[in-house]
Amino acid sequence: MFYLLDIHEKVGVEVQKMGSDIKESLKEKLEEIHIKENNGVFLGVEEIKKVSEEGDILPEEPYIFFDVEYTALFFQPLQNEIVEGIVSDVAEFGPFVKIGPIDALVHISQITKEKMVYNPKQDVITNKNGKLVIQKNDIVRAMVVSSSISQERVKVSLSMKGEGLGPLKWIKKK
Shared domain for 38 and 87, answered yes or no, is no
Residue 3 backbone zone (phi > 0: left; psi -120 to 50: alpha; other: beta):
beta
Shared domain for 129 and 50, answered yes or no, is no
pLDDT tens string 82-132: 999 999 999 999 999 999 999 999 999 999 999 999 999 999 999 998 889
The span from the first CA to the last CA of the chain, in angstroms, equals 28
Q: Is the pTM of this model over 0.85?
A: no
Neighbours of 63 (CB within 10 A): 18
Shared domain for 10 and 88, answered yes or no, is no
Domain extent at residue 125: 82-173
CB 15 within 8 A of CB 64: yes
Shared domain for 88 and 63, answered yes or no, is no
Q: What is the CATH number of the domain that holds 65?
A: 3.30.1490.120
**More confident position, 18 or 60:** 60
How many folded domains does the chain comprise? 2
Shared domain for 49 and 108, answered yes or no, is no
Shared domain for 18 and 92, answered yes or no, is no
How do 124-127 and 133-134 pair as beta strands?
Answer: antiparallel
pLDDT tens string 125-163: 999 988 899 999 999 999 999 998 877 788 999 999 999
Shared domain for 60 and 104, answered yes or no, is no
